[in-house]
Structure 1
Amino acid sequence: MRIRNLQAVFKDLDTDDIEADESQNEEASAELIQVLDDRSLSLIIRDAKNDGRKALTILRNHYRPTGKPRVITPYTQLTSLVKSKQESITDYIIRAETAASCLRDARELISCSLR
């Protein structure tokens, strides 16, 4: 999108302040469709035809890990985290941060105590 100077179309999707005009939105949709797999394309083809902003919003909502099955794995990883003897402290912290960021992306509450 940057090469075609269309990044303004997707800027601040969550706000109503839209800088891009409709022709750019349609062009962004055409560019997006070219790189999608069949499953992603089927998600957007009916509801977001020629609407790049809406297409990206649909894809974000579908692939964002918010369902319980998608949350259980990082939660389990975080709660059963154990540093191995040959693992560096940096690698251990990175594993913890990765699991925690997955939970934050899923809008799950992470508390200090796991009671």
Structure 2
Amino acid sequence: MWEIKFLAHLRLQKLTLDESEDRTSAEFSAKNADILAEIIQVLDDKSLQLIMRDVVNDGNKALEILRDHYRGTGKPRIISLYMELTSLKMRGKECVTDYFLRTEAASTSLKSAGETISDSPLIAMVLKGLPEEFIPFNTVVMQKDSLCYGVMKKA
């Protein structure tokens, strides 16, 4: 999601780089440096540390490094994403919609990392994280013969 938001921000700043642009031109280099400056303004310390050694006025390279890191398909990243998904719990005053959005974000991250998670385990993880007042909802959901995640979240 960060990438989509940031690319939209760059577009509003008229800082998009076209693949057909001459990469040796001064205009391309200046735009690329401006992109890096915009990236640096919004990064947290960890993300900044990921790119600061490897990029010098190269916003495109910084975006590639960040993309590779956050879409990581290595075993540690995948395990971390599964741990996040399996430990989800609905927070005290959190609304159901926000809880489902957090679930979808974790699930989407796993899909981006190349992992496929079917609806049944996803539904089980969601139900496990709901507080006691949702026991009747859990009971109804578990009695359904055929249920997909998309239908459950609308229930």
Into which bin does the TM-score normalised by the smaller protein fall?
A: 0.5 to 0.7
Aligned residue identity for 1:61: D
Count of aligned pairs: 104
- RMSD of the TM alignment (CA)? 3.7
Letter aligned with residue 67 of structure 1 = G
- Give the structure, 1 or 2, with the largest relative contact order (CA under 8 Å, sep 6 or more): 1
In structure 1, the residue matched to 2:42 is 35
Deviation sequence 1:51-95 (CA, Å, 0-9, x none): 0000011111112242223324655898xxxxxxxxxxxxxx988
1:106 pairs with one of 113, 116, 120: 113
User: 1:33, CA displacement in angstroms?
Assistant: 0.9
Q: Tell me how far apart the structure 2 counterparts of residues 22 and 47 of structure 1 sit (CA, whole Å).
A: 16
Q: Residues 100 and 42 (structure 1 numbering): CA distance in 2 closer, same or farther, change over 3 Å? A: closer
Residue in 2 aligned with 1:51? Answer: 58
Structure 2 CA distance for aligned equivalents of residues 77 and 38 of structure 1: 21
Q: CA deviation at 1:49?
A: 1.6
Structure 2: segments with no counterpart, 5+ residues = 1-9, 23-27, 86-99, 119-155
SS at match of 2:11: coil
TM-score, normalization: structure 1? 0.58
Identity percentage of aligned residues: 51
How far 1:97 sits from its partner (Å)?
6.1
Match of 2:13 among 4, 7, 30: 4
User: Equivalent residue of 1:53, what SS?
Assistant: helix
Partners of 2:66 and 2:13 in 1: how far apart?
21
Describe the shift of the 1:5–1:100 C-alpha distance in structure 2 as closer, same or farther (beyond 3 A): same
Pick closer, same or farther for the CA change 1:29–1:98 going to 2, 3 Å: closer
Query: Quick one: distance in 2 between partners of 1:46 and 1:76?
Result: 30
Moved over 4 A (4+): 73-78, 93-100
Structure with the bigger percentage of helix: 2
Q: TM-score, normalised by structure 2?
A: 0.46
Q: Which segments of 5 or more consecutive residues in structure 1 lack a partner in the other structure? A: 12-16, 79-92
* Structure showing greater Rg: 2
| Partner Cα separation in structure 2 for residue 73 and residue 44 of structure 1 | 21
